[in-house]
Amino acid sequence: MVETKAEIRLPTHELRDDIPFFTRVLKMRMDMIYPADDPTVAVFSGYGLRVRVEKGAVEPPGTLRILSDDPDAFADGARILTAPNGTRVEIDVLAPPLVMPDTVHSFVVRRLADQAPWIIGRAGMHYRDLIPDRLGGSIIASHIRIPDGGPVPDQVHYHTVGFQLIFCYRGWVDLVYEDQGPPFRLHAGNCVIQPPEIRHRVLYASDNIEVIEIGVPAEHVTTIDHDMTLPNDVVNPGRSFQGQRFVHHQADDATWRDFRLPGYQSRDTTIAAHTGDVAGVHVVRRGQGLPVWAAHDSDILFTFVMDGWMVLKGEGRDPITLRPGDAFVIPPGFATRYSDPSEDLELLEVSLPGRFETELRDE
């Protein structure tokens, strides 16, 4: 069996000054040093890293980051150090806490006809940003498509998030999740939530698959898990992942009820109940009665037009006709009216939190 190693080379002017720093301060192991009479090269290893410090090397000193679950105890409380050879050393938290930015509220309308660019992202998927200002970093909403179906070059991974939704808009996709049993097919009209740090993998997609993905906060870390194979041996569909349970909502099993807005019906995906009201997700269609003006007190209220059309009226704003692929965000306290809905209108509404108050207003 062929053994292979990799190392990072750093320069030095005087190796004897660097040896005690790397071994005593950074607590790395010295694996190699030569020549014996006047050493010019030393190799240190530790924390999954192999560093070659070489006298006369032409590279810049660079930066090393050492991550610890107790960074203040690592180097007597120092969080930034400079090695004798000039290398900057940053001591930081191994698993930083999830930071939820305060929402910067705004009225946002994003239309497919505006031709926002599709960006090629992870695993070759195409992304269209549905909330350009991301409400101050509090949320990201993406329209994602895979033009050519087939196997998806994905790996087992997880996200450090507060909330994440995958809604299948067109086509279908095969997915597999930690503790949820064998792979399954997510069909158009159905959705899943990915609780914080649940391991999962995208396996196979139909041609022209399209999904809507919601992530809170907007910037969150995706971590590849090289050690887990899915499906795993444990099946525990009721497991709680940081207070949230996995949901696979299927439209065929759903019940339509009156929506919070007159003139509309909705099917509740049960996501509010499974997340402790962190978020709520409804699919909305035309119902009985006439639409009215209304305002809400939800921190975030995002809506995506899946089918049909409607006219969105906002106080002090020109009416906007919305069609499939369009999206909008209504800030709290801002009065709107969902007017002139077509018979086939279908909306996806995502709220954070899951439960909030709606105030109906007179004309």
Which residue from 258, 285, 253, 287 is spatially nearest to 269, judged by alpha carbons? 253
In this prediction, residue 149 carries a pLDDT of 87
pLDDT digits (tens, 9 = 90+) for 201-225: 999 999 999 999 999 999 999 999 9
Contacts of 178 by beta carbon, 8 Å cutoff, 6+ apart:
198, 199, 200, 228, 230, 232
Q: Which CATH code fits 117-249? A: 2.60.120.10
Residue range 8-93 forms a domain whose CATH class is: alpha beta
Q: Assess contact for 121 and 152: CB atoms under 8 A.
A: no
Domain boundaries, the chain: 8-93, 117-249, 253-361
pLDDT of 277 above 70: yes
The confidence band for 125, taking pLDDT boundaries of 50, 70 and 90, is confident
The confidence band for 122, taking pLDDT boundaries of 50, 70 and 90, is low
Contacts of 103 by beta carbon, 8 Å cutoff, 6+ apart:
135, 136, 138, 139, 299, 300
In this prediction the pTM is 0.89
What is the separation of C-alpha 126 from the centre of its chain, rounded to a whole number of angstroms?
15
In this prediction, residue 363 carries a pLDDT of 65
Q: Rounded distance, CA 343 to CA 262, Å?
A: 15
Asked if the domains 117-249 and 253-361 are classified in one and the same CATH topology, the answer is yes
Q: Which CATH code fits 253-361? A: 2.60.120.10
Location of structure tokens 């007190």: 297
Q: Assess contact for 230 and 181: CB atoms under 8 A.
A: no
Location of structure tokens 């790996």: 155
Q: 2-11, 111-120, 126-135, 178-187: lowest mean pLDDT where?
A: 111-120
Helix (H), strand (E) at residue 16: helix 15-20
β-bridge partners, 222: 159
